Amino acid sequence: MTENNHNAAQNIYKPATMKIVDRRDEAPGVRTMKLEFQDPADHELFKETYRTGMFGLYGVYGEGESTFCVASPETRKEYIECTFRESGRVTSALARADIGDLVTFRGPYGNRFPLEEFYGKNLLFIAGGIALPPTRSVIWSCLDQREKFGKVTIVYGARTVADLVYKHELEEWMQRDDVELVLAVDPGGESPDWKHRIGFVPTVLEEAAPSPDNCVAVLCGPPIMIKFTLISLKKLGFDESNVYTTLENRMKCGLGKCGRCNVGSIYVCKEGPVFTAEEVSRMPAADL
C-alpha cells in the first residue's frame, strides 16, 4: 500500500490547478515545464506526500490527462517540474501551453525510491534518452543531501547530442568533483565537437566499470536499453535486488481502479512505478 491516505470526502478524480511559471526546450520535441500550485491546500498535500519516484497525471481540460514522472526532487517541493515528449493529444496540448497558462496535475501517486536504504551506499545512475527526468529526480534528491551517500556515478546516453536533455545540469554535474558523469551518444549521433563517449549505454557502462560493492543502481530508459543494460550490470557483478527501475504503462486513474496498468498481478500505479530488477524479472515478460 502507498503512503497516501486521502480524505474520504474528496473527489479523487479532481485535479489540482497548476500555473506554468517556466518552461525550457530540452531537445527536439522535448520540453520541461515548471508548475506552481494555485490552491495552497493542494500544495500542502503534495508537500506531505511527494517522494522521489512517484508519478502524476498532467492534464489539459478538453484533451485529457497523461501520466509521467515528477522530474523535480523530493528535496524541492515548492514547485513541480515535468519533462515530456510531444507525442500524443495531451502532450501536444501541454506543449502548446505558454508561461502563465493553467494546466492540471493529479498525484503524486505510486511508490518511491527507498532513499533511506541508499544511505551510506555508492550510487550508480544509468539513464537513456528521455528517461533522464525520472532519474534526475532521484539524483537531485541525493545530491541535495550529498553527505548521506557515497560515490555518485551517472551514466547518461542519448541517440544524438541534440537528444540529450537537461544539458545545463549535465554541465553542472560535469563540473562537480563529487559526481562522476559519463556521457555518451550512439554511434553516428555525435557532433564534430563532441568530447565524450560514443557508444550504446551498456557498452559505455561496461567500459566505466563501476564497482558493485556497496552500490545501488538506478536504471531508467527505453525497454531495449534496460534489457541490455541489465545484462551488463550482471557482468559487472550487480545483484538484481540492488538495481532499481521504473515501469511505465498507460493509466487513466492512477489509483488502482481503472484496470489497465497491471503487469501480471502487479498494478504499476499502486505497487510501482519503482521496482527492483529482481521484482521485474518475476513479472510475466509477455505482459510488459
Partner 1 sequence: MTKILFTDKLDSCVERWRSAGMTVIGPVQRANSSVYDAVKSASELDLNLVLTDRSIKELFFPQSEPMLRYAITKAEINTDEFLPPSGPRIIFGARACDASGLAIDDPLFGWDYKDEYWFQRRNESVIVTIACTKADEFCMCTSLKLSPDSTKGSDILLRPLENNKGWQVEELTDRGREAFKSVADLLQEGSDPAAATVTVPEKFNADACAEWLKNPENFESRFWKEISARCIGCGSCTYLCPTCHCFDIQDEGGSFEGIRRKNWDSCSFALFTMHTSGHNPRSTQSARWRQRIMHKFNYFPGKFSANSCSGCGRCTRECPVDMGITETLQEISKLSQ
Annotated binding site: 253, 258, 261, 269
Residue 8 touches partner 1, criterion: CB under 8 A: yes
Name residue 182's beta-bridge partners. 155
Residue 10 touches partner 1, criterion: CB under 8 A: yes
Q: How far apart are CA 153 and CA 167, in angstroms?
A: 17
For the segment 151-190, give every residue that binds partner 1 (CB under 8 A): none
- What number of chain residues touch partner 1 (CB under 8 A)? 50
Among 13-21, 72-80, 235-243, 272-280, the segment contacting partner 1 (CB under 8 A): 13-21
Closest to partner 1 by CB, 24 or 252: 252
For the segment 240-279, give every residue that binds partner 1 (CB under 8 A): 248-250, 252-253, 255-265, 270
Q: Supply angle C-alpha 15, 21, 25, rounded to 5.
A: 105
Distances (CA, A) of 155 to 30, 100, 143, 201, 288: 20, 35, 15, 8, 25
For the segment 34-73, give every residue that binds partner 1 (CB under 8 A): 60-66
Q: Is 279 helix (H, G, I), strand (E, B) or coil?
A: helix
Least Cβ distance, residue 23 to partner 1 (angstroms): 17
Describe the chain by its helix, strand, coil percentages, rounded to 5. Answer: 30, 30, 40
In the annotated binding site for [2Fe-2S] cluster, the residues are 253, 258, 261, 269
Closest to partner 1 by CB, 111 or 137: 111
Least Cβ distance, residue 57 to partner 1 (angstroms): 9
Q: Which is nearest to 83 in space by CA: 127, 32, 47?
A: 32
For residue 39, count other CB atoms closer than 10 A to its CB: 11
- The residue with cell 519503482 is 274
Closest to partner 1 by CB, 204 or 268: 268
String of DSSP letters for 69-98 = E--S-TT--SSEEEEEE--SHHHHHHHH--
Q: Which one among 36, 42, 101, 169 touches partner 1, defined by CB under 8 A?
A: 101
Closest to partner 1 by CB, 14 or 235: 14
Least Cβ distance, residue 83 to partner 1 (angstroms): 15
Closest to partner 1 by CB, 44 or 172: 44
Torsion angles phi and psi, residue 115, rounded to 5: -55, -35
